[in-house]
């Protein structure tokens, strides 16, 4: 495994753990969102290869949509809503980076 992919993999794993911990025990303050956004950017930059782009974007966009609507449907479960918000704070920046890389690759060829 390449070093950059290793960093991206660890960033994703740490981001998911942080998102769950925030949902269970904390709130999404500016520091927590900033940390998750930075981890998401690292995931997008280092963890997704060009051949994995379509699958990653489909899975990540599905996760964001389900998180958004799931939070609205399950608003009675506050902890779950916080976990889903934190996961979106992690995944959305990575989706933006991967989508931009994909558009750049398509424009370049």
Over range 32-38, report the average pLDDT: 93
CA distance 76 to 68: 14
Find out whether 2 and 61 touch, Cβ atoms under 8 Å.
no
Query: Would the pLDDT of 4 be above 60?
Result: no
| DSSP, res 47 | S
pLDDT in tens, 78-97: 888 888 889 999 999 999 99
CA distance 83 to 7: 23
pLDDT in tens, 70-80: 777 776 778 88
Query: Would the pLDDT of 5 be above 70?
Result: no
Query: Computed from CA positions of residues 4, 97, 62, 86, in that sequence, does the dihedral angle turn out positive or negative?
Result: positive
Over range 58-64, report the average pLDDT: 89
pTM (two decimals): 0.85
């Amino acid at each position: 495994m390449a070093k950059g992919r290793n960093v991206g993999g660890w960033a994703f794993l740490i981001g998911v753990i942080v998102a769950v911990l925030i949902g269970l025990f904390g709130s999404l303050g500016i520091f927590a969102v900033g940390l998750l956004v930075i981890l998401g950017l690292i995931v997008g930059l280092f963890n997704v290869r060009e051949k994995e782009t379509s699958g990653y974007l489909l899975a990540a966009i599905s996760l964001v949509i389900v998180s958004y609507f799931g939070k609205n449907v399950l608003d009675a479960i506050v902890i779950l809503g916080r976990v889903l918000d934190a996961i979106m704070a992690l995944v959305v920046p990575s989706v933006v980076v991967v989508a931009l890389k994909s558009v750049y690759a398509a424009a370049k060829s």
